[in-house]
A and B are shown apart, each in its own frame.
Chain A
Amino acid sequence: MISWAVLAALVLFSAVTYVLGRRKLTAQVAGQAAGQVAGARSHSRPGYHGAYVMLWVAAPAAAVLMLHGAFGPRIESAIVRAEAPPVVQALGDQERAVFHDDAWALAHGHAASETLYAPDVRAALDAEAAQARNLGIAVHLGAVALAVALSIGGFFLAYGRVRPEFRARERVEQWTTAVLVACSVAAVLTTVGIVASLAFESFRFFQAVPPLKFLFGTEWDPQIAMRADQFATSGAFGAVPLFAGTFLIMLIAMAVAAPIGLFSAIYLAEYASRPVRAVVKPLLEVLAGVPTVVYGFFAALTVGPLFRGFFNGLGAELIGGPLNGLGLYLAQVQNQMALVAGAVMGIMLIPFVSSLSDDIINAVPQSLRDGSLAMGATPSETIKKVVMPAALPGIMGALLLAVSRAVGETMIVTMAAGLQAKTTLNPLDTVTTVTVQIVTLLTGDQEFDSPKTLSAFGLGLTLFVITLILNVIALRIVQKYREQYD
């Protein structure tokens, strides 16, 4: 890490050079004006000259420091690892990883793990920690020295150019545009990062588990021995039960959210008076702003026990009657049924569906409504026969976006749905979803290279592709529809 002092010094130095650049220009202009004819002017205002000098001083140095901050630790650890003594090379992969982590921790003043090392390894550990510390200092000093050299060099380069006829504003504006472009590229880089990281880790997973077996396998049981001496089954990575669970919960959520959200949107757009809208819309926005972890808490501790109590009570009534079997089943329904997670997720999606549909219904031209009403149709007939058909594609798009949200939603299902991978359409059964499994696989201490951990990336890639397809279709429909009436 670059210390704050270095950054502060850089900021201070660039501020000083800004003033210097400004001064030089003002002095030159004043000198020219005094020395010769009136009307001596510079192309750019003094501030641009100052900014030009400052940019040359600060930007390359800041880039070096940032690169060091991001990649420095990685370079250091690569060098240290490559030079490890034979005692360490002789260790197994696992032990060696722990060894390097501990050396790293010792070098940076953190607590090491409580592993007991053999004396010779322990000595190597201390040696490596010392080496890493020295190397860290060396790399750090190197980066700072390079930054200092660059900013001083930049200063002389830019300061020499400051002259009244120098087009400083154009140069500064070029810099500005470059920064703007770089910022927009950041958004693209995010996508590239997502795709690359998911694809890379999934590729490693698919080397262990064939993709077809993953996508169409019907058994999910990712138990794999963490160490060679542990006993465990070899694990099964068939994701169909997870897709089925995700689908079931999504269906339940949409069954709650679609009608309530749509009817709310219709009422708000077509019937509600101004004051009603002014109150109801913000309240629905509150519902949309509640963090999903809160919905999860609500599902796990309120809705779950409530539903379970209801079904268990109903089951107790039915036992001994003609529906004895159903009663026995209902009496032992668990908290973590798909219905609970689905219903709460539906509540979460209501404001999402209603605000999107509201926009879309409002975008239907008033002339269509006026025409229908003028023919003698009632408002509800107008809505059902004229407004809705016109808004339908847009609403389908909105619902697809909601489906995509439901598929990718994590916290509610993590807290309220179960872990048993089952392929079922019974809403009272416990199911698990793709997102729940990703969370379960990646929380807690896990070796990063086992197929068990890597399978989370396989699931993540699948999730990303599914939601991406849904989003692309939905956004295209919504956009196309908007253009039609704009």
Chain B
Amino acid sequence: MTDAALTPPAPTPADLRVAVAARLKARRARETRFRWYGRLAILTALMFLAVLLGRIVTQGYTTFIDYRMSVPVYVDPARVDASDLAGAGYDLLVADAVLAKLGEKDDEFGSASGKVMELLSTDLGFKLLQKLRADPSLIGKTVTVTGPVRADAALYYKGEIKRSTPQESRKLDDRQIAWLDKLKAQGMVSSGFNTSFLTRSDSTEPEQAGVLGAVVGSAMMLLVTAILAVPIGVLAAVYLEEFSPKNRWTAMIEVNINNLAAVPSIVYGLLGLAVFINWLAVPRSSPLVGGLVLALMALPTVIIATRSALKAVPPSIREAALGVGASKTQTVFHHVLPLAMPGVMTGAILSLAHALGETAPLLMVGMVSFVPGVPAGLTEAATVLPVQVFIWENASERAFHERTAAAIMVLLAFMIVMNLAAIILRRRFERRW
């Protein structure tokens, strides 16, 4: 009975109730905290999404506003020779016209006209030349040309270059800024929607650079990818899902396809470089070689999507078709595949959308080159939207940064359209069994 003193007294029901209540409180607090961790995680992820898209829109929307200048230029016959139109200095001619409008005189070194030329796009001089080529009788008359201002001047109008910045650390000096203000006050500068960004191709001058060449290049490349990856992928999936015997070989192919879907995209680029360019002599940086590489990359995802769509078709459909005497091939191609088609198309569009945004493998097959025009064919040098983004991001001029963001907006717009198409397809045609 000596042990009795050592054992603690049995807890009374009241003590127990208190202890349980305290523990319950702690447990419930833990529960609330745990829920909040989850909520915070989701909020953080969504915040990242908002910041990412918000930053791109705020950096890029200014590209869609452009500042154009209309300059009446007197085409001095003393300076333009009708027999040698290309030999005249049109940029200087335009700059002098602007100087005259500003009421300033050029000095003997041409320093003022040089400063004006820094504000005007070379596009103005080029347009003047084109007008004279079309109609040489304009020499000796006054011709009005309209064209964009230089990127730095546009940045000033957009408020990106500020007057308050010390003169040494901005691209434009005080005099040029005063001129820009005066030109705007005189109504020579107008702003509007920048259509040239969508109708021109890459250029070394930011104000003349556009995305058209990249959009066409992307479309061509995606066409090659779609023509190759979708039929081959769908047929391969049909074989694996409906026809193949279940043996070691088909099991190996299955593991292989799942692994291919997770191979880093840059490895496909190395494959393209070694096989398509060095071995098969497909032209470098062409939409053809890009499309081939992306087709190989999209193939496993198309196969996986098609297989799951085929799996979703209930066996009763197959049994019914076989029951009325259709052959295996007829069952699959007349009944199972048509029913799986919405799912197949959704998967195909999604993997093409993914291919549209892919960059790394294309760098490997030489798509980083500067291509100033719209590609004329599948074997011509071309650039595509994501690579254009990469090229512009590397450019040192600040004006290219806003264009990079704007190109991203164009790229995302195309991806949104493709994804919406996939969602609509799924909603309209998908059947639940």
What is the interface of chain A, defined by CB distance below 8 A to chain B? 1, 70-71, 73-74, 77, 169, 173, 176-177, 179-181, 183-184, 186-188, 190-191, 193-194, 197-198, 200-201, 259-264, 266-268, 271, 280, 283-284, 286-287, 289-298, 300-302, 347, 350-351, 354, 378-381, 383-384, 401, 404-405, 407-411, 414-415, 435, 438-439, 442-444, 448, 456-457, 460, 463-464, 467-468, 471-472, 475
Compute how far the CA of A477 lies from the CA of B398 in the bound complex, rounded to whole angstroms. Answer: 48
> CB within 8 A of B260: which of A177, A190, A260, A289?
A190
10 shortest interchain CB distances as A-B pairs: A408-B264, A267-B38, A291-B357, A263-B41, A197-B274, A180-B239, A410-B360, A380-B34, A183-B235, A183-B236
Compute how far the CA of A84 lies from the CA of B393 in the bound complex, rounded to whole angstroms. Answer: 45
Compute how far the CA of A380 lies from the CA of B389 in the bound complex, rounded to whole angstroms. Answer: 45
Compute how far the CA of A357 lies from the CA of B184 in the bound complex, rounded to whole angstroms. Answer: 58
Tally A-B pairs: CB < 8 A: 261
Contact with A along B246-274 (1 / 0, CB 8 A): 00000001011111101111111111011
Chain B residues with CB under 8 Å of A411's CB are 359-360, 390
Q: Does B278 contact A (CB under 8 A)?
A: yes
- Decide: A475 and B364 in contact? CB cutoff 8 A: no
* A77 in contact with B244 given A411-B390, A463-B266 (CB within 8 Å): no
> CB within 8 A of A289: which of B243, B328, B379, B419?
B419
Compute how far the CA of A351 lies from the CA of B40 in the bound complex, rounded to whole angstroms. Answer: 15
- Decide: A200 and B274 in contact? CB cutoff 8 A: yes
Known: A71-B280, A381-B31, A472-B255. 12 other contacts (CB 8 A): A187-B257, A198-B267, A286-B49, A287-B52, A290-B412, A293-B387, A297-B404, A350-B45, A378-B30, A439-B360, A442-B273, A471-B259
- Decide: A193 and B275 in contact? CB cutoff 8 A: yes
Compute how far the CA of A463 lies from the CA of B262 in the bound complex, rounded to whole angstroms. Answer: 12
> CB within 8 A of A468: which of B34, B259, B296?
B259
Q: How far is the CB of B254 from chain A (nearest CB, A)?
A: 10
Chain B residues 363-386 with CB under 8 Å of chain A are: 363-364, 366, 368, 379, 386
> CB within 8 A of A169: which of B35, B49, B327?
B327
Least CB separation from B256: chain A residue? A191
Chain A residues with CB under 8 Å of B329's CB are 173, 176-177
Q: Does B294 contact A (CB under 8 A)?
A: no
> CB within 8 A of A467: which of B31, B264, B300?
B264
| Highest count of chain B CB atoms <10 Å: which of A179, A184, A271, A401 | A184
Q: List 15 A-B contacts (CB under 8 A).
A: A73-B280, A77-B281, A169-B327, A173-B328, A173-B329, A188-B256, A264-B41, A287-B52, A300-B393, A408-B264, A410-B360, A438-B364, A442-B364, A443-B364, A467-B263
Q: How far is the CB of A307 from chain B (nearest CB, A)?
A: 14
* A180 in contact with B264 given A169-B327, A287-B49, A411-B360 (CB within 8 Å): no
Chain B residues with CB under 8 Å of A169's CB are 327
Q: How far is the CB of B315 from chain A (nearest CB, A)?
A: 17
Q: How far is the CB of A322 from chain B (nearest CB, A)?
A: 34
Least CB separation from B45: chain A residue? A350
Chain B residues 78-126 with CB under 8 Å of chain A are: none
Chain B residues with CB under 8 Å of A200's CB are 274
- Decide: A267 and B359 in contact? CB cutoff 8 A: no
* A378 in contact with B28 given A197-B271, A198-B270, A297-B404 (CB within 8 Å): yes
Least CB separation from A77: chain B residue? B281
Q: Does B42 contact A (CB under 8 A)?
A: yes
Q: Does B240 contact A (CB under 8 A)?
A: yes
- Decide: A187 and B281 in contact? CB cutoff 8 A: no
> CB within 8 A of B264: which of A1, A297, A384, A409?
A409
> CB within 8 A of B35: which of A186, A267, A351?
A267
- Decide: B30 and A380 in contact? CB cutoff 8 A: yes
**Number of contacting residues on B, CB 8 A?**
89
- Decide: A259 and B41 in contact? CB cutoff 8 A: yes
- Decide: B299 and A190 in contact? CB cutoff 8 A: yes
Least CB separation from B356: chain A residue? A291
Chain B residues 1-49 with CB under 8 Å of chain A are: 27-28, 30-31, 34-35, 37-42, 44-46, 48-49
Chain B residues with CB under 8 Å of A287's CB are 45, 48-49, 52
Compute how far the CA of A463 lies from the CA of B259 in the bound complex, rounded to whole angstroms. Answer: 14
- Decide: A184 and B253 in contact? CB cutoff 8 A: yes
- Decide: A260 and B44 in contact? CB cutoff 8 A: yes
- Decide: B259 and A472 in contact? CB cutoff 8 A: yes
Chain B residues 263-307 with CB under 8 Å of chain A are: 263-271, 273-275, 278-281, 296, 299-300, 303
* A294 in contact with B263 given A74-B279, A177-B243 (CB within 8 Å): no
- Decide: A188 and B56 in contact? CB cutoff 8 A: no
Least CB separation from A287: chain B residue? B49
* A407 in contact with B411 given A197-B275, A381-B27, A443-B363 (CB within 8 Å): no
Q: How far is the CB of B394 from chain A (nearest CB, A)?
A: 8
Q: How far is the CB of B244 from chain A (nearest CB, A)?
A: 7
Chain A residues with CB under 8 Å of B404's CB are 297, 301
Chain A residues with CB under 8 Å of B356's CB are 291
- Decide: A290 and B52 in contact? CB cutoff 8 A: yes
Q: Does B321 contact A (CB under 8 A)?
A: no
Q: Does B73 contact A (CB under 8 A)?
A: no
Q: Does B405 contact A (CB under 8 A)?
A: yes
Q: Does B415 contact A (CB under 8 A)?
A: yes
Least CB separation from A351: chain B residue? B45
* A457 in contact with B265 given A289-B419, A297-B408 (CB within 8 Å): no
- Decide: A464 and B267 in contact? CB cutoff 8 A: yes
- Decide: B259 and A294 in contact? CB cutoff 8 A: no
Chain B residues with CB under 8 Å of A443's CB are 363-364, 366, 368
Chain B residues with CB under 8 Å of A297's CB are 56, 389, 393, 404-405, 408
